[in-house]
Structure 1
Amino acid sequence: MRMPIPRWRERLPRAGVLLVILFIVHVVLKIALFPRLANAPLVGDEASYLDGARALSNLVRDLSTFGPVNVSELQRSLVGSGWFMPGISILLTPLFVVDPDASLAMIRGYLGVVSSLLLILAVQSVRRVLGDLYAGVVLVSPGLVPMWLIFSYTAYGDLCAGLLILLFVTHLIEIIRQLRVGISPSWQQGVRLGLLATAALYLRSSTSVLIIGMFIVVGAAALLMLRGRERRRGVLHLIVAAVVLVAILLPWSVFASQTLGGRVVTTTSVPIVLANTFGERDRICFGECDPGSTIWFNPLRYSREVA
Structure 2
Amino acid sequence: MLAYIIRKILFSIIILFVASFVIFYLVSLSGDPLQELALNPRVSQEDIERLAATYGLDQPVYVQYGIWIRDILLYGDFGLSFKQNTDVNSIIAARIWPTVLLMGSSLIFTLAIAIPFGIYSAIKKYSLIDNIGTFLSFVGFAMPVFFLGLILQLVFAVYLTEWLGVRVFYVSGMSSRGGGVIDLLQHLFLPMVTLSVVSIATFTRFQRSAMLDVLSAEYLRTARAKGLSERTVYLKHALRNALIPTITLIALSAVSLIAGAVITETVFSWPGLGFLLIDSLYKGDYNVARALLLITAVLTVLFNLLADIAYSIVDPRVSYD
TM-score normalised by length of structure 2: 0.24
TM-score normalised by length of structure 1: 0.24
